[in-house]
């Protein structure tokens, strides 16, 4: 299989989140924040390269928005090239990972960072369509690829 | 049976015997013995076998040939003449035309004949002709095919000249015999022999056919049956096959295209074996073939390295690159340089450090350099200036570090290829060295760290001027506080230079440093400690430490602290030990404390540190000394004790501990300090001093060799505890009681049991007593170790654990008892915990249910997690019980640590446990864990995510 983008930029991983004293105190409640969501999706592997979405800057901390009161989370992601055919697959991987890792009270929106992909609206529509996502996850080949992306290689 | 005497026909003897019958071989052995002893000749034997050999029934003929073959295999060589061998050869050549059933014995016979050294000329050819003509090799059984191959091998060994006369007939014969072989044993034999055959024989027009016969096995796809542990492996077969494919220069024109074709396949082993052939071929194939395919080889290797996820394959591809390029370097520059230039040009585009292909491209360039001197000079000349340029225009320190690290590799490789450390003759590498120096002086820490590490790896290549400049610049750094990672990097280069150029370091660095205050002194001494192990510096550096230790009080505080760290770091370096003993440092430091006893305040953290430093230094020195040398400390100790009794400055207990606790058992102290220690242990306000007093007390009790005195001491302690019973400070009494018990149990003293009972009695009424079990079980207590000359009986903790768990299993599981079990488990040695696990599981699970103490809960979960990870078969038996408890605890309200541990345990089950046992519980576990995803603590949520994903992925398709 020929790679679409053979020599992408590789960015440095950010350091692990430092553990604050209040996070170790059982009596303080820690709210969900964008960094926590970022930590969940940064380790997802790119379908093409042996690199994580973080290293390719497909997902970034600043593009995640968490609203604890209204229980919504919005994740924007940036495909490495505007014609990336893997964009939907990456979006699905992010969705599935968050579906498995977040409490059900949250409604999650995964969308392409505006202006970074040729067929942005089509992909966004697909990702927002519950039925189509569910149907996609029934596809054994597709779920296999998604699982490969989600699985933590080194944990 | 005597052949000469009765001369009867052997037909009757053998006719009805099966050749696997033990009688058969017995009879044959007798025949062999007779011939060897001269009782009968081979001629007579043949005559008597005649009936069998010419029998119309094939089975009988087979028996006849079999007997003859066995005789030929065993008889001594002088018993058969050339003429007889000649006849035998004719006979066997003829037999090859016979019934198929006779072939196996015939083949063995021929093999036996070939082992005689006087086979007449021409016979071998006759035998082989008949063999090739009459026996279709691949229709024989495995063992017979092997015999055919052995015959071929033997023939070539014995009379190569005769076979070479056969020319194409022999080659064709071998080729058609071998073609289609499938048995791995036979193949391995062939692959070992064929290279010899291929080298000796001229393949002529058959070389392509011969190559095809071998190429059809490539790449070897073979899996060893699991039950056969020491059978043939794929790698042995593959490596011997590649020897065959690269056996003769004739194969070059077929072999390289084959390797390149298979290298482009997606099969992992095909890539491996192809790379192996490409590399092996370099030894034998003409260089012109490699030139012809150089573009292909390069583009394939490039593809492997750039798109590769497999480290091993990448390594192999790079190694092959080196071998092939080394081969090509034999060419004149006019041919070689354009190839190099092509490669370098392709890679030049990838040299931006933020691109994915940067690292693999650098790897290829490095390996290219390794191939030859010409390549090294060429690549360095082309690439290094570009990279240096990129370094200058890059603004991100991380990328600059990456560039620097890759640049420095060129220096290493150059020194390796040219076999010399001097690199300044290459202007580009000189520039790299300056770049390193520049990096060290940069204001970004990350880059400086990289600079220092790079310098430390190229010390032998650094020219004078760079070294001089480096010294100038590190002087201020050595006496200032630096971030940890920077300091370690700096020290690494400092140490490297001190080893290589000690006098320069002395003159240009150490002698030039001026210390202005105690902060500078601290960092200076810390830096010095890195070079202490270097022989040239040991004595002087310790002298420097010593000088500052005797300086004013404030300065000595700093110096003593550094000395302690240094001695701890190098406690096993004998040279350092020798010098510190020489300097009598212990007595001098104790005197220092005695002089300042009035101003020393244990509540002052600096003073407390000073006392501990001196105590530790004393222990580190005293414990290595002989009994004779230690006696000197007795007077010093008495002096300290008397000062202590006068002024009651509790800090002196720390000093006394330092002096006494490492003394030999035989050394007796004149004064009895047990009462002093007890009053501190029960009465002091400082927990820290209490612990020291308890440990020293235990140390003294453990080392006491005088039974009567020990008895008195114990009685005294018992009375003292009764008299000073304080319900408010019960923990203090428990601690003394526990340390005393521990001291006795460790030496296996008879009184140990009685003291243990006291502790158990106390447990019925006071839960503080549970903590005592932790003290007793605790391992690695420095004051009660063998290094402090204590009596430490083997496995005393294991014994105590077994006894106590057995006891608690019988007792009522009250809260206090469960607490005690928890503390026992906390410190229980791993092995004994596993050994006892089945017995104690009930009480352990009870602890998890009933116990409310978070600490104990956490401890038990921790032990169980360890068990789940490392003793899978044991944990598997209790999978359901454990899992249900863990799930219940994953929502344990009052402690997040318990929740996290429980979730970790649940996750550990997903690693390497039989999936069929987990699947029935999966739905339930995944659902229950969904609750934890919304936990109020982030760290718990993280553990919950890991555990839940683990369970979801159990049977997920990947």
Q: Is B43 on the interface with A (CB under 8 A)?
A: no
Distance from CA of B936 to the nearest CA of A (A): 5
Question: Tokens for B454?
Answer: 């790079």
Question: Do B938 and A30 count as a contact with CB atoms less than 8 A apart?
Answer: yes
Helix B796-810 crosses helix B730-746 at what angle (to 10 degrees)?
Answer: 120
pLDDT in tens, B155-179: 888 878 888 877 788 899 999 999 9
Instruction: Output Rg (C-alpha) for chain A, integer angstroms.
Output: 16
Chain B residues touching residue A9 (CB < 8 angstroms) = 354-356
Measure Cα distances from B468 to B330, B435, B509, B862 in Å: 42, 15, 10, 55
Residue A105 CA to residue B250 CA, distance in Å, equals 73
Rounded to 5°, angle at Cα B923 from B922 and B927? 115
Angle between helices B82-95 and B103-114 (to 10 degrees): 150
Q: Is A123 helix (H, G, I), strand (E, B) or coil?
A: helix
Convert the pLDDT of each residue in B382-405 to its tens digit: 999 999 999 999 888 889 999 999
| Segment B848-869 mean pLDDT | 89
Whether residue B269 has pLDDT greater than 60:
yes
Please name the helix (run of DSSP H) or strand (run of DSSP E) that holds residue A140, with its range, or none.
Answer: helix A140-150
Q: Which of B698, B683, B621, B619 is nearest to B654 (CA)?
A: B619
Q: Does A101 touch chain B (CB under 8 A)?
A: yes
User: With bands split at pLDDT 50, 70 and 90, how would you rate the model's confidence at B454?
Assistant: very high
Rounded to an integer, the average pLDDT of B321-336 is 88
What pLDDT score does B883 carry? Answer: 93
Where do the H-state alpha helices sit in B19-81?
A: 22-36, 42-53, 58-74
- Residue in B945, B949, B958 nearest the CB of A148: B958
Distance (Å) of CA B287 to CA B99, B208, B331, B417, B662: 52, 20, 8, 22, 72
Q: What is the CATH number of domain B332-462?
A: 1.25.10
pLDDT confidence bin for B3, thresholds 50/70/90: very low
Query: How many residue pairs from chains A and B have C-beta atoms closer than 8 A?
Result: 71
**How confident is the model at residue A1, as a pLDDT?**
46
Nearest CA to B246 out of B263, B264, B259, B233 is that of: B259
* C-alpha to C-alpha distance for B296 and B291, rounded to whole angstroms: 10
Alpha carbons B61 and B67: distance in angstroms, whole number:
10
Position B853 scores a pLDDT of 85
Q: Which residues of A touch B933 (CB under 8 A)?
A: 101-103
Contact B103, B61 (CB under 8 A): no
State in Å, rounded, how far the first CA of chain A is from the last one: 28
Q: What is the CATH topology of the domain spanning A31-150?
A: GMP Synthetase; Chain A, domain 3 (3.30.300)
In this complex, the residue of B350, B354, B937 whose CB is nearest that of residue A26 is: B937
Instruction: Pick the closest to residue B567 from B609, B605, B618, B524 (CA basis).
Output: B618
pLDDT at A3: 63
What's the gap in Å between the CA of B651 and the closest CA on chain A? 33
The pTM score is 0.80
The two beta strands, A107-112 and A72-77, are parallel
B852-957: CATH number: 1.25.10.10
Q: Which chain B residues are Cβ-neighbours of A11 within 8 angstroms?
A: 354
Residue closest to B408 by CA, chosen among B456, B345, B373: B456
- Is B948 in a helix, a strand, or coil? helix
B354 vs A100: CB contact, 8 Å cut-off? no
Is residue B523 over pLDDT 90? yes
Yes or no, beta carbons of B357 and A151 under 8 Å apart: no
Residues of chain B positioned with their CB less than 8 A from the CB of A146: none
CA distance B848 to B860: 7
Nearest to B28 by CA among B77, B85, B69: B69
Does B350 sit within 8 Å of A7, measured CB to CB?
A: yes
B926 has a pLDDT exceeding 90: yes
Model-level ipTM above the cut of 0.90: yes
Upstream peptide bond of B457 is cis (omega within 30 degrees of 0): no
Q: Does B957 touch chain A (CB under 8 A)?
A: yes
DSSP B249: G
Q: Which of residues 46-85 of A touch B (CB under 8 A)?
A: 49-51
Is B2 a residue whose pLDDT tops 50?
no
Q: In Å, how far is B321's CA from the nearest CA of chain A?
A: 22
Find residues 4-43 of chain A whose CB sits inside 8 Å of chain B: 6-12, 19, 23-24, 26, 29-30, 36, 39-40
A81-105 pLDDT, tens digit per residue, is: 888 888 999 999 999 999 999 999 9
Distance separating alpha carbons of residues B503 and B116, to the nearest angstrom:
74
Rounded Cα distance, B405 and B413, in Å: 13
Tokens 């001291």 map to which residue? B743
Mean pLDDT, rounded, for B727-739: 86
With a CB-CB cutoff of 8 Å, which residues 753-792 of chain B face chain A?
Answer: none
Exposure class string for B101-128: b at 16+ Cβ within 10 A, else e:
ebbbbbbbbbbbbbebeebeeebbbebb
Residues A3-28 pLDDT 10s: 667 788 888 888 888 998 988 898 99
Give dist(CA B644, CA B600) in Å, integer: 12
Which of A7, A11, A105 has its CB closest to that of B357? A7
Cα B857 from Cα B838, distance rounded (Å): 19
Which of A2, A100, A147, A154 to mutate to probe the B interface, most B CBs <10 Å? A100
Mean pLDDT of B128-148: 91
CB contact under 8 A, B355 and A8: yes
What pLDDT, in 10s, does the model give residues B214-237? 999 988 888 877 776 667 888 899
**B42 CB neighbour count, 10 Å cutoff:** 19
Backbone angles phi, psi at A111, to 5 degrees: -140, 160
Task: Write down the pLDDT at residue B45.
Answer: 85
The answer to whether the Cβ–Cβ distance between A101 and B356 falls below 8 Å is no
Tokens at B906, concatenated: 């649940």
DSSP secondary structure letter of residue B119: P
Which of B398, B896, B933 shows the shortest C-beta gap to A102?
Answer: B933
Q: Rounded to a whole number, what is the distance in Å from the CA of B257 to chain A's nearest CA?
A: 22
Question: Hey, which residues 298-357 in chain B have their CB within 8 Å of chain A?
Answer: 306-307, 309, 350, 354-357
CA-to-CA distance for B730 and B771, rounded, in angstroms? Answer: 11
Please report which confidence band the pLDDT of residue B356 belongs to, taking 50, 70 and 90 as the band edges: confident
Mean pLDDT of all residues belonging to chain B: 89
Cα(B605)–Cα(B620) distance, integer angstroms: 22
- Determine the residue of chain B that is closest to A68 in CA distance: B934
**pLDDT category, A153, cuts 50, 70, 90?**
low
CA-CA-CA-CA dihedral for B399, B402, B406, B408, to nearest 10: 100
Residues of B whose CB is below 8 A from A3: 307
Do residue B894 and residue A26 have CB atoms under 8 angstroms apart? yes
Decide if B957 and A143 are in contact by the 8 Å CB cutoff: yes
Q: Where are the domains of chain A?
A: 31-150
Q: CA B216, B220, B221: angle at the middle one, nearest 5?
A: 115
Average pLDDT over residues B555-571: 93
Cross-chain CB nearest to B354 (options A6, A9, A36): A9
Smallest CA-to-CA distance from B757 within B769, B774, B775 is with: B769
Q: Is the pLDDT of residue B120 over 50?
A: yes
């Amino acid at each position: 299989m020929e790679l679409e983008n053979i020599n992408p930029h590789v960015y440095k991983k950010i350091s692990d989140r430092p553990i604050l004293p209040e996070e170790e105190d059982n009596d303080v409640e820690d709210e969900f924040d964008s960094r926590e969501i970022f930590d969940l999706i940064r380790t997802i592997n790119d379908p093409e390269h042996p690199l994580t979405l973080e290293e390719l800057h497909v997902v970034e901390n600043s593009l995640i928005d968490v609203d604890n009161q209204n229980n919504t989370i919005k994740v924007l992601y940036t495909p490495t090239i505007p014609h990336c055919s893997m964009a939907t697959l990456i979006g699905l991987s992010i969705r599935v990972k968050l579906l498995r890792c977040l409490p059900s009270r949250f409604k999650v929106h995964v969308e392409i960072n505006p202006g970074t992909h040729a067929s942005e609206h089509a992909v966004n529509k697909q990702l927002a369509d519950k039925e189509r996502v569910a149907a996609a996850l029934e596809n054994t080949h597709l779920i296999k690829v998604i699982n490969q992306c989600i699985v933590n290689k080194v944990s | 049976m005597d052949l000469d005497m009765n001369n009867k026909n052997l037909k009757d003897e053998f006719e009805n015997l099966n050749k696997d019958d033990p009688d058969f071989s017995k009879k044959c052995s007798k025949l062999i013995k007779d011939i060897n002893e001269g009782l009968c000749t081979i001629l007579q034997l043949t005559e008597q076998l005649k009936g069998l050999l010419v029998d119309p029934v094939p089975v009988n003929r087979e028996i006849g040939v079999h007997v003859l073959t066995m005789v030929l295999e065993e008889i001594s060589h002088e018993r058969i003449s050339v003429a007889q061998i000649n006849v035998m050869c004719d006979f066997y050549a003829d037999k090859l035309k016979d019934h198929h059933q006779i072939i196996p014995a015939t083949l063995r016979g021929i093999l036996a004949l070939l082992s005689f050294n006087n086979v007449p000329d021409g016979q071998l050819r006759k035998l082989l002709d008949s063999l090739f003509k009459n026996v279709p090799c691949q229709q024989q059984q495995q063992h017979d095919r092997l015999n055919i191959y052995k015959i071929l091998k033997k023939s070539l060994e014995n009379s190569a000249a005769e076979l070479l006369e056969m020319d194409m007939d022999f080659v064709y014969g071998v080729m058609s015999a071998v073609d289609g072989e499938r048995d791995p044993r036979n193949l391995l034999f062939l692959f070992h022999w064929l290279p010899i055959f291929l080298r000796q024989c001229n393949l002529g027009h058959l070389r392509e056919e011969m190559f095809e016969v071998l190429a059809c096995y490539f790449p070897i796809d073979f899996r060893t049956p699991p039950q056969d542990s020491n059978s043939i492996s794929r790698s042995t077969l593959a490596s011997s096959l590649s020897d065959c494919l690269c056996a003769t220069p004739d194969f070059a024109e077929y072999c390289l295209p084959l390797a390149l074709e298979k290298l482009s396949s997606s099969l992992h082993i095909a890539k491996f074996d192809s790379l192996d052939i490409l590399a092996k071929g370099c030894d034998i194939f003409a260089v012109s073939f490699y030139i012809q395919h150089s573009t292909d080889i390069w583009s394939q290797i490039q593809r492997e390295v750039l798109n590769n996820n497999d480290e091993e394959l990448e390594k192999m591809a790079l190694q092959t690159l080196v071998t092939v390029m080394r081969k090509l370097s034999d060419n004149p520059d006019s041919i070689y340089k354009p190839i190099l230039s092509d490669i370098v040009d392709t890679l030049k585009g990838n040299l931006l450090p933020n691109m994915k292909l940067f690292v693999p491209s650098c790897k290829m360039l490095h390996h290219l350099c390794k191939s030859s001197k010409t390549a090294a000079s060429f690549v360095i000349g082309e690439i290094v200036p570009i990279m240096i340029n990129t370094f200058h225009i890059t603004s991100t320190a991380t990328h600059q570090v990456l560039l620097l690290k890759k640049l420095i590799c060129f220096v290493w490789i150059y020194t390796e290829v040219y076999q010399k450390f001097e690199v300044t003759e290459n202007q580009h590498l000189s520039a790299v060295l300056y770049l390193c120096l520049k990096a060290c002086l940069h204001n970004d820490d990350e880059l400086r760290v990289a600079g220092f590490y790079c310098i430390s790896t190229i010390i032998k290549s650094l020219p004078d001027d760079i070294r001089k400049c480096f010294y100038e610049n590190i002087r201020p750094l050595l006496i200032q506080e630096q971030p940890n990672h920077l300091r370690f990097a700096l020290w690494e280069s400092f140490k490297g230079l001190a080893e290589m150029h000690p006098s320069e370091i002395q003159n240009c660095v150490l002698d030039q440093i001026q210390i202005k205050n105690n902060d500078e002194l601290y960092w200076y001494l810390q830096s010095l400690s890195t070079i202490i192990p270097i022989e040239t510096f040991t004595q002087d550096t310790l002298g420097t430490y010593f000088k500052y230790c005797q300086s004013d009080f404030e300065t000595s505080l700093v110096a003593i602290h550094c000395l302690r760290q240094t001695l701890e770091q190098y406690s096993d370096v004998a040279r350092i030990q020798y010098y510190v003993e020489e300097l009598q440092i212990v007595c001098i430091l104790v005197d220092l404390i005695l002089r300042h006893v009035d101003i020393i305040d244990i509540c002052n953290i600096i003073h407390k540190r000073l006392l501990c430093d001196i105590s530790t230094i004393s222990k580190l020195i005293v414990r290595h000394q002989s009994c004779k040398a230690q006696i000197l400390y007795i007077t010093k100790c008495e002096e300290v004790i008397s000062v202590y009794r006068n002024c009651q400055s509790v800090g002196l207990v720390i000093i006394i501990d330092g002096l006494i606790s490492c003394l030999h058992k035989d050394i007796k102290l004149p004064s009895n300090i047990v009462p002093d220690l007890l009053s501190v242990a029960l009465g002091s306000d400082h927990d820290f001093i209490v612990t020291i007093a308890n440990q020293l007390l235990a140390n003294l009790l453990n080392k006491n060799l005088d039974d009567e005195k020990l008895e008195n001491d114990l009685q005294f302690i018992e009375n003292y505890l009764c008299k000073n019973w304080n319900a408010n400070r019960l923990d203090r009494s428990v601690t003394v009681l526990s340390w005393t018990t521990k001291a006795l149990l460790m030496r296996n003293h008879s009184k140990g049991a009685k003291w243990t009972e006291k502790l158990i009695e106390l447990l019925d009424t006071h839960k503080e007593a549970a903590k005592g079990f932790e003290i007793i079980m605790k391992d690695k207590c420095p004051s009660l170790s063998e290094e402090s000359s204590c009596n430490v009986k083997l496995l005393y903790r294991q014994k105590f654990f077994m006894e106590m768990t057995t006891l608690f299993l019988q007792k009522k599981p009250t809260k206090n008892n469960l607490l005690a079990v928890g503390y026992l488990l906390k410190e229980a040695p791993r092995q004994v915990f596993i050994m006892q696990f089945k017995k104690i599981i009930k009480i352990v699970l009870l602890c998890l249910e009933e116990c409310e103490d978070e600490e104990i809960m956490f401890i038990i979960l921790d032990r169980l997690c360890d068990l789940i990870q490392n003793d899978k078969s044991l944990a598997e038996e209790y999978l359901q019980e454990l899992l249900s408890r863990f799930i219940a605890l994953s929502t344990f309200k009052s402690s997040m640590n318990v929740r996290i541990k429980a979730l970790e345990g649940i996750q550990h089950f997903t690693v390497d446990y039989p999936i069929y046992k987990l699947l029935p519980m999966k739905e339930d576990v995944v659902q229950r864990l969904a609750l934890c995803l919304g936990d109020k603590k982030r760290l718990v949520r993280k553990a919950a995510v890991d555990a839940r994903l683990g369970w979801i992925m159990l049977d997920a398709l990947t």
